[in-house]
């Protein structure tokens, strides 16, 4: 069992700029061919102020702030035997290339199933642009204790 004292653990927020090259690399990696994400003229022709980031891109810059592997280290859990069980995103405003994003993460729940064979850790992330929450996400991490041992 993971000590529930870690519920409420929060990272110190850090700020990151959304770089064009990274968004382009991410698009290449996910098979995204729409130049709206890296060509400013295409974005502006589409009525956008700048190139938007793809919906799940926030997970990539979240890792620059603090990866889930980093969080597992705080909990004293080896990454072996760990699986990603659930992920959600809620979007309040679009994030664009050039934005400066403030990111923080918080462990909001820890629980077990199957008589302790499986542990679950729930982590919320907040993404702020100009002091307003642009998006949030929630990750559920599954730790298979037999595999981790």
Q: Closest Cα partner for 119 from 139, 140, 104, 102?
A: 140
CB of 60 to another protein, least distance (A): 4
CB of 114 to another protein, least distance (A): 16
CB of 5 to another protein, least distance (A): 26
Q: Which residues of 2-13 are buried (b: 16+ CB within 10 A; e: fewer)?
A: beeeeeeeebee
State which residue, 83 or 100, has the beta carbon closest to another protein.
83
Q: Which residues bind to another protein, rule: CB under 8 A?
A: 22, 25-26, 28-32, 34, 36, 52-56, 59-60, 63-64, 67, 69, 79-81, 83-91, 94, 147
Residue 7, φ and ψ in degrees, nearest 5? -60, 130
Helices 57-65 and 20-29: angle between axes, nearest 10 degrees: 120
State which residue, 70 or 100, has the beta carbon closest to another protein.
70
């Amino acid at each position: 069992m993971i000590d529930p004292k870690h519920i409420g653990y929060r990272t110190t927020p850090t700020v990151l700029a959304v770089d064009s090259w990274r968004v382009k690399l991410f698009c290449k990696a996910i098979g995204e061919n729409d130049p709206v994400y890296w060509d400013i003229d295409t974005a502006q022709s589409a009525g956008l102020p700048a190139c938007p980031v793809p919906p799940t891109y926030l997970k990539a810059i979240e890792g620059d702030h603090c990866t889930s592997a980093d969080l597992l280290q705080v909990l004293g859990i080896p990454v072996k035997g760990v699986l990603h069980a659930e992920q959600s995103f809620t979007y309040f405003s679009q994030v664009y290339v050039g934005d400066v994003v403030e990111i923080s993460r918080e462990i909001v729940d820890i629980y077990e199933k199957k008589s302790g064979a499986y542990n679950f850790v729930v982590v919320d992330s907040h993404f702020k642009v100009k002091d307003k929450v642009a998006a949030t996400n929630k990750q559920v991490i599954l730790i298979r204790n037999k595999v981790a041992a």
